[in-house]
Amino acid sequence: MKIIITEQQHKLIREQIAVPINLVYNQIIDAVKGFGTNPDKLIVALNNLKSQSDFYSLNKLFLDNKTGYESFDDMINNEMEMDNFDDVKKISDKLSLIGVESMYSSGKNRLGMSSFLGNFETSEEPKPTQIPKNTPRVGPTCKSIWSKNLTPAKKYWIQWLSNPITKQKFKKNWNIKNEREVNDIFKKYVDALNKLTLVFYDKFNVKNPSVSNSYAYVNPKEYNPKIYVNCSMSDKEPLGTLVHEIQHILYGIKPLNPEKQVGDVFVTDNTVKMSPKDFLNVENFMKNSENMVNRNIQDASKKYNIRTDVLTELLSRAKKFEREIPGYVCDESEKMSNIMAVRKYLGINPGENITKEMLVPYLSIDKHHTDIFWILYCWALKGFGDINVLLNKINKLAYQNTSKDSETKLA
């Protein structure tokens, strides 16, 4: 099954590497302390807010009364004077940029200049949308969207498998000398693609709860290959997901690359390993490991001009996923599905290479793509090795690999 990293989750990564909300609150406390308020300091503090949730989290901190006020609105109404109209407007405009609307009263003084007359009020925190329980989701729209993407996904794979470079890499990676054996395997690949169909299901009615929150999954052991699509979920990358899942079906026939070769893609000198003697002093090992991780982050930050807090957050989220689904982040089959989907997304043909320059915008979290992030998560877990070395290994792969387990195996 493919686990999607949504735009919301990607946004959350950006938010979590921003200035902590409690520090923004401390900046506001400093801006209002003493006589009067320093509007410039207040604006600087608000510039660190990145989302609606940031503001509403900030507003809750006012309950400790350290500013002398119980809410942000109360502070503005009591600290801002009539001649602070321009400052109030800047505050209102700033909040609007992150989705928080505000209203206030204004007027003109004797000189015809705009004045702030109070009644500043921000919109209330929106309540989360409640999805009705037991609501069927399998409908014509879902079926139409996925069905339209199945043909181009099949075509993409058939073109890839038909390219002589793919066969050459396959033979080399498996050390197969018999050309007929290779042709027979590739014929089975194409036959499976031609037979491939979609099966739609609803998470409220599915018998296997492990797939209720998956976007799609396959059972490579099925004689007639199928991709099971969850119409309860809203996948913005259906074509990429189909390319991803097809890789798992092909693996059930014969992996395009040996698992060890795939696993070695992410293993580097920076990978923290535990030797038998480390079991005698786990505390010392953990301390040394932490020091090594910090050095790896510092080295990668300098090498690729990426902020250390960005890399730290990537590693933190990779560890979180690893705790939730042990082995998934760096599973060899998953990495191969991720790589194939990335090649499709970036428009890279057999024989062409993924380059470091292609990944940098995603590494700095300026752009978002699910499969690229799964590759970066494994890269982080394995010690932030040299990106060029990692890509060189990736580009040598004949292509995919997939799960040898049943439908419950995440893909």
Q: Is the pLDDT of residue 369 over 50?
A: yes
Most confident of the following: 184-188, 317-321, 325-329, 400-404: 184-188
Confidence of residue 191 (pLDDT cuts 50, 70, 90): very high
Report the share of the chain in percent with pLDDT over 70. Answer: 80
pLDDT, tens digit, 9 for 90 and up, residues 123-164: 888 765 554 455 556 667 888 999 999 999 999 899 889 888
Residue 400 is assigned to a structural domain of this protein: no
Confidence of residue 411 (pLDDT cuts 50, 70, 90): very low
Shared domain check, 113 and 50: yes
Residue 408 is assigned to a structural domain of this protein: no
**The domain boundary residue, chosen from 122, 155, 172:** 122
- Paired tokens of 297: 């982050």
Phi, then psi, of 331 in degrees rounded to 5: -55, 130
Q: Is the pLDDT of residue 360 over 50?
A: yes
Report the range of poorest mean pLDDT among 153-162, 286-295, 329-338, 362-371: 286-295
263 vs 390 pLDDT, higher one: 390
Residue 410 is assigned to a structural domain of this protein: no
- Paired tokens of 211: 């797939």
Q: Is the pLDDT of residue 296 over 70?
A: yes
Shared domain check, 348 and 322: yes
CA–CA separation, 262 and 336 (whole Å)? 7
Shared domain check, 116 and 153: no
- Paired tokens of 325: 């689904």
Range of the domain at 144: 140-256
Mean pLDDT over 23-50 rounds to 86
pLDDT, tens digit, 9 for 90 and up, residues 217-228: 888 777 789 999
Q: How far is CA 63 from the centre of its chain?
A: 34
Confidence of residue 75 (pLDDT cuts 50, 70, 90): very high
Report the range of poorest mean pLDDT among 91-100, 124-133, 365-374, 378-387: 124-133
Contacts of 399 (CB under 8 A, 6+ apart): 160, 166, 169, 247, 256, 257, 336, 339, 340
pLDDT at 406: 27
pLDDT at 408: 24
Report the range of poorest mean pLDDT among 71-80, 234-243, 283-292, 378-387: 283-292
pLDDT at 198: 94
pLDDT at 297: 85
Task: Give the torsion sign (CA, 393, 395, 397, 403).
Answer: positive
Residue 30 is assigned to a structural domain of this protein: yes
Shared domain check, 246 and 278: no
Shared domain check, 202 and 304: no
Residue 359 is assigned to a structural domain of this protein: yes
Shared domain check, 352 and 246: no
Confidence of residue 7 (pLDDT cuts 50, 70, 90): low
pTM of the model: 0.52
Q: Any idea which residue has 């505050």 for tokens?
A: 91
Confidence of residue 275 (pLDDT cuts 50, 70, 90): very low
Shared domain check, 231 and 174: yes
CA–CA separation, 131 and 265 (whole Å)? 42
Mean pLDDT of the chain: 78
Shared domain check, 39 and 152: no
| Count of the separate structural domains present in the chain | 3
pLDDT at 88: 92
Shared domain check, 252 and 267: no
Residue 71 is assigned to a structural domain of this protein: yes
**The domain boundary residue, chosen from 215, 240, 256:** 256
Shared domain check, 53 and 144: no
Mean pLDDT over 99-123 rounds to 86
Shared domain check, 279 and 387: yes
Residue 405 is assigned to a structural domain of this protein: no
Mean pLDDT over 17-32 rounds to 81
Q: Is the pLDDT of residue 197 over 90?
A: yes
213 vs 69 pLDDT, higher one: 69
Mean pLDDT over 388-401 rounds to 70
Shared domain check, 282 and 236: no
Report the share of the chain in percent with pLDDT over 90. Answer: 14
| Whether 115 contacts 83, CB under 8 Å | yes
Q: Is the pLDDT of residue 276 over 50?
A: no
Q: Is the pLDDT of residue 3 over 80?
A: no
- Paired tokens of 300: 């990668």
CA–CA separation, 256 and 135 (whole Å)? 40
Residue 166 is assigned to a structural domain of this protein: yes
HEC string of the chain? CCCCCCHHHHHHHHHHCCCCHHHHHHHHHHHHCCCCCCHHHHHHHHCCCCCHHHHHHHHHHHHHCCCCCCCHHHHHHHHCCHHHHHHHHHHHHHHHHCCCCEECCEEECCCCCEEECCCCEECCCCCCCCCCCCCCCCCHHHHHHHHHHHHHHHHHHHHHHHCHHHHHHHHHHHCCCCHHHHHHHHHHHHHHHHHCEEEEECCCCCCCHHHCCCCEEECCCCCCCEEEEECCCCCCCHHHHHHHHHHHHHHCCCCCCCHHHHHHCCCCCCCCCCCHHHHHCHHHHHHHHHHHHHHHHHHHHHHHCCCHHHHHHHHHHHHHHHHHCCCCCCCHHHHHHHHHHHHHHHCCCCCCCCCHHHHHHHHCCCCCCHHHHHHHHHHHHCCCCCHHHHHHHHHCCCCCCCCCCCCCCCC
